[in-house]
Structure 1
Amino acid sequence: MAPVHVERTPDGFVASNERGARITIGSVTDEGVFSPVELLLAAVGACNIVTVEPLTAQRGHRLPHLAVSISATKAEPTLLETVTVTYEVELPESLTPEKFAEIAERVHQRHCTVTRSLEKGTEVKLNLPSP
């Protein structure tokens, strides 16, 4: 997996990838930027939605509207307790709510790397410079 680079710039903090995409990062009080926790929530939502959409399309169902809202509650000031993904979807006549729920659950439980990593408690290591 290609790394993401985050650095402080004269304009704030910027995350970038090898494909040239950039995201400005700040605190929850900064205007026009995402906070790190908001980026985590966006990653959860994006991982789910970009996987659900092609799975429904492969089954011949084009969703007229597909969106998610992601919220979180805190267990402690620096620890999230629960992240909730709420789908906002308009289903075509060819897709029942039960079948859509089955697809979304499968994505959540088996296919979304971000969600699965959070649920499994993926280790995060620090690689610090040598003195």
Structure 2
Amino acid sequence: MSGETLRSVSIERASLGRYEVRNARGGTITIGSSDGPDFTPVELLLAALGGCTGADVDHIVSKRAEPERFEVRVTADKVRDESGGNRLVNLVVELSVAFPEGEAGDAAREMLPRAAKMSHDRLCTVSRTIEAGTPVDTKVN
């Protein structure tokens, strides 16, 4: 992988069940198990999916009108599949957006479904990766 295409984070154990994630730009977040306030890895996956779709759609529709409300909700069911492993099913990204009255708001409302489709079909790296079923290679050093 080249430096132009490579994306990465590093994760360091803070304590049992809590980990600090760092990106290349210096940002940090803490993730943990479901018994504390930190986001779990599954919640971060859902946030990544919604954030990616939301950012794509926001950039497209906000060129027409500034939203009065812009909310994204992502849901999924965690199941144990036939092989005995855990996974998510029924992933849904729901956009709830309101625009002001008038010509600009009408243009943004009209563009909203197309923007969501563009995000899903070609722009959102997260949803496209999930749907493609990209293999994950786990290595131990």
TM-score, L = length of structure 1: 0.87
Instruction: Give ranges in structure 1 of 5+ residues lacking alignment.
Output: none
Question: In structure 1, what is the equivalent of residue 72 of structure 2?
Answer: 68
Q: Does 2:126 align with 1:114? A: yes
Q: Distance in 2 between matches of 1:98 and 1:27?
A: 41
Q: Distance in 2 between matches of 1:56 and 1:97?
A: 8
Q: What SS does the corresponding residue of 2:59 show, helix, strand or coil?
A: helix
Q: CA deviation at 1:122?
A: 0.9
Instruction: Give ranges in structure 2 of 5+ residues lacking alignment.
Output: 1-5
Q: Distance in 2 between matches of 1:26 and 1:96?
A: 38
Give the letter aligned to residue 93 of structure 2.
Answer: V
Give the letter aligned to residue 66 of structure 1.
Answer: F
Q: Distance in 1 between matches of 2:136 and 2:109?
A: 37
Q: Percent identity?
A: 33
Give the letter aligned to residue 95 of structure 2.
Answer: Y
Q: Distance in 2 between matches of 1:63 and 1:4?
A: 32
Question: In structure 2, what is the equivalent of residue 84 of structure 1?
Answer: 92
Aligned residues: 127
The CA deviation string for residues 21-44 of structure 1, in whole angstroms up to 9 with x for no partner, is 1111111121x2000000000000
Q: CA deviation at 1:99?
A: 3.0
Q: Distance in 1 between matches of 2:20 and 2:74?
A: 23
TM-score, L = length of structure 2: 0.81
